[in-house]
Amino acid sequence: MLITVEDKVYDMELIDDKDKKLAANIMVAKANHHRLNAEGSQILVNTYENGLAGMLKDLPETMVEPTEPEPEEDVKSS
C-alpha cells in the first residue's frame, strides 16, 4: 500500500519489521478514521449553518449591520 506523508511517497509493503509494519498500519488507520470524522463533522456544521440561514432569512428583523469590534483598553494594575 502506498501512502503519502509530507509530500513523500512510502510503500508500506516494504517494511520488513513486523512490529513496525503493524504500528505503521495502525497509525494509517487512525489517521484515516480521524480524517473521516473531521469531514463528517464539517458536513454537519454546513448543514446546521444552512438551516440557520434559511430560518433567519424568514426573520428580517434579526438582521443588523456588521460593526467593527472596538479595541480593548489596556488595563494597568497598580
Query: Mind listing the pLDDT tens digit for each residue in 60-72?
Result: 999 898 888 877 7
* Grid cell listed for 64: 443588523
Task: Name which of 33, 32, 51 is nearest 43 in CA terms.
Answer: 51
How many CB atoms neighbour CB 10 within 10 A?
Answer: 14
**Percent of the chain clearing pLDDT 70 (strictly above):** 95
- At 68 the three-state DSSP class reads coil
How many whole angstroms separate alpha carbon 23 and alpha carbon 18? Answer: 9
Structure confidence by residue, pLDDT tens digits, 8-46: 999 999 999 999 999 999 999 999 999 999 999 999 999
- Per the CB < 8 A criterion, the answer to whether 36 and 24 are in contact is no
What amino acid occupies position 16? D
pLDDT at 73: 77
Predicted confidence band of residue 77 (pLDDT cuts 50, 70, 90): low
